[in-house]
Structure 1
């Protein structure tokens, strides 16, 4: 009867377990964690795939962080512009009020 063989998910679980135990997930350590089963070549291949995937994941995370930072900067700029618009509106109203008061005082003369 043929063996089922190793799966990528089994390798990932063994690697994650070793890392959680603060042990280096070497090929031999993973093989021992799996019950001394699987070829070192297969374990190495799956580890390499997982590392490449992790690198892609980190690249995406870095891009997402950069995008988030840029969006925050844009949000701050929009907030500053909105505040400036409110200040301009307030000052414009003050000028109108002062102009009206001046016109009123001149009409009393």
Structure 2
């Protein structure tokens, strides 16, 4: 039996009430080392809005398809002999690690 087969007897974290959403909206701390707290509502863009996130994602998708064609000679398609759920799950695990790394490295 490994450490992953049973749940811990008590949580291995403590509750930290650092700020309220209202405090955050007034510029309160968004991050406490080792802990993630709620964030304030998003700010409205200035007079000239930046490119939308959706537009950035569309551009990234076009770029990724080009990389796939160059690297593998084809774009991603169904019935390619791979298990898409396993690929996606492994990519999600990597993503979570990169996200947590980025959080830890923020000042």
The TM-score, its normalising length taken from structure 2, stands at 0.28
| Structure with the bigger percentage of helix | 1
Larger Rg: 1
The TM-score, its normalising length taken from structure 1, stands at 0.28
Using CA pairs under 8 Å that are at least 6 residues apart, name the structure with larger relative contact order, 1 or 2. Answer: 1
